[in-house]
Amino acid sequence: MNLCNITPPEQTCCFTGHRRIQPSQVEELNKRLSSIIDTLYKEGVRHFRCGGALGFDSLAALAVIRSKREHSDIRLILILPCIDQTHGWSRADERIYERIRESADEVVYTATEYSRQNMLLRDRALVDGCGICVAYMNSASGGTGYTVRYAVRSGLRVLNLGKSAIPIFTTA
Q: Report if residue 22 sits inside a domain.
A: yes
Q: Report if residue 170 sits inside a domain.
A: no
The domain containing residue 56 runs over which residues?
10-160
Mean model confidence pLDDT for the chain: 88
- The count of domains in the chain is 1
Q: Report if residue 58 sits inside a domain.
A: yes
Burial of 70: CB neighbours in 10 Å, binned 0-12, 13-18, 19+: exposed
Q: Report if residue 2 sits inside a domain.
A: no
Residue 92 is part of a domain; what is its CATH number? Answer: 3.40.50.450
Alpha carbons 67 and 149: distance in angstroms, whole number: 28
Q: Report if residue 133 sits inside a domain.
A: yes
Does pLDDT of 170 surpass 60?
A: no
Q: Is the CB of residue 153 less than 8 Å from the CB of residue 128? A: no
Q: Report if residue 1 sits inside a domain.
A: no
Tens of pLDDT along 67-104?
A: 999 999 999 999 999 998 898 999 999 999 999 999 99
Alpha carbons 83 and 111: distance in angstroms, whole number: 8
Q: Report if residue 154 sits inside a domain.
A: yes
Q: Report if residue 4 sits inside a domain.
A: no
Query: Is the pTM value of this prediction over 0.85?
Result: yes
